Amino acid sequence: MPQWLCNQLMRAFYNKNRRQIRLLNDCWFFYRTRRQEPDSTESQLPQ
């Protein structure tokens, strides 16, 4: 997880800002799935 995202999540949890927590959580899942797409397609190619 990028450090900037981790810092913002910690700040959102500290301030109990549910809207910000949800937004950052969505950003993290989007970031994670976007980074995994190329790897998952390469592993499914026949050899």
Residue range 4-23, pLDDT digits in tens? 999 999 999 999 999 999 99
DSSP state of 46: -
Q: Mean per-residue pLDDT for 17-45?
A: 79
Compute the C-alpha angle 14/15/20, nearest 5°: 105
Nearest to 22 by CA among 31, 10, 9: 9
User: Is the pLDDT confidence value at 45 over 90?
Assistant: no
**pLDDT attached to residue 8:** 95
Question: What percentage of the chain exceeds 70 in pLDDT?
Answer: 77
pTM: 0.64
**pLDDT attached to residue 38:** 60
